[in-house]
Structure 1
Amino acid sequence: MFPYYYDPTYVLLIPAILFTLYAQSKVQSTFSKYLRVHSSKGFTGAQVARYILDKNGLNDVDIQLSRGKLTDHYDPGNKVVRLSNEVYYGTSIASISVAAHEVGHAIQHARNYFPLVFRNTLVPIANIGSSMAWIFILLGFMVSPSFIDIGILLFLAAVLFQIVTLPVEFNASNRAIDQLKENGLIAFNEESQSKKVLDAAALTYVAAAAAAVSQLLRLIVLRNSRRD
Structure 2
Amino acid sequence: MYYGFYYDWTYILVLIGVVLSLLASSQVKGTFAKYSKIRSYSGMTGREAAEQILRRNGIYDVQVTHIAGNLTDHYDPRNKTLALSDPVYNSTSVAAIGVAAHECGHAVQHFEGYAPLSIRGALVPVVNFGSMISWPLIIIGLFMNGQMSSFLIDIGILLFMVAVAFHLITLPVEINASRRAVKVLGNSGMLREDEVGGVKKVLRAAAMTYVASAAAMILQLLRLLILTNGRRRND
Structure 1's consecutive aligned runs of 4 or more residues displaced over 4 angstroms after TM superposition are 2-5
Given that 2:5 and 2:227 are in contact with CA atoms closer than 8 Å, whether structure 1 keeps it comes out as no
Aligned with 2:83: secondary structure?
strand
1:36-47 equivalent positions in 2, closer than 5 A = 36-47=37-48
Residue of structure 2 in register with 1:124 after alignment: 125
The 8 Å contact of residues 130 and 157 in structure 1, kept in 2 or not, is answered as no
Within 5 Å, give how 1:98-113 maps onto structure 2: 98-113=99-114
Counterparts of 1:211 and 1:90 in 2: how far apart (Å)?
33
Distance of 1:135 and 1:86 partners within structure 2: 39
Displacement of 1:146 in angstroms is 3.1
Equivalent pair of 2:75/2:82 in contact (CA under 8 Å): yes
List runs of 5+ in structure 2 lacking aligned partners. none
Equivalent residue for 2:72? Answer: 71
* CA apart distance, 1:152: 0.4
- Give 1:45 shift: 0.3
Cα displacement (A) at 1:94: 0.5
Cα distance between partner residues in 2 of 1:156 and 1:129: 9
CA distance in 2, matches of 1:68, 1:5: 36
What letter is aligned with 2:142? Answer: F
Q: Deviations over 1:63-105 (max 9, x none)?
A: 0000011000001001010001210000001000000000000
Write out per-residue CA displacement over residues 94-142 of structure 1, whole angstroms, 9 at most, x where no aligned residue. Answer: 0000000000000000000000011000100111111110121011112
Please report how far the alpha carbon of residue 150 of structure 1 lies from its aligned counterpart in structure 2 after TM superposition.
Answer: 1.2
Number of equivalenced pairs: 228
Match for residue 170 of structure 2?
Answer: 165
**Matched-pair contact (CA < 8 Å) for 2:50–2:104:** yes
TM-score of the superposed pair, with normalisation by structure 1: 0.97
The 1:5–1:129 alpha-carbon spacing in structure 2 relative to 1, beyond 3 Å, is: closer
The 3-state SS of whatever aligns with 2:10 is helix
Helix, strand or coil at the partner of 1:8: coil
Q: Hey, what's the Cα distance between the residues in 2 that align with 1:63 and 1:7?
A: 49
Which stretch has the larger CA shift, 136-145 or 30-39? 136-145
2:217 alignment partner, one of 204, 212, 218? 212
Matched residue type, 2:151: S
| 2:17 matches 1:16 | yes
Q: Distance in 1 between matches of 2:183 and 2:4?
A: 56
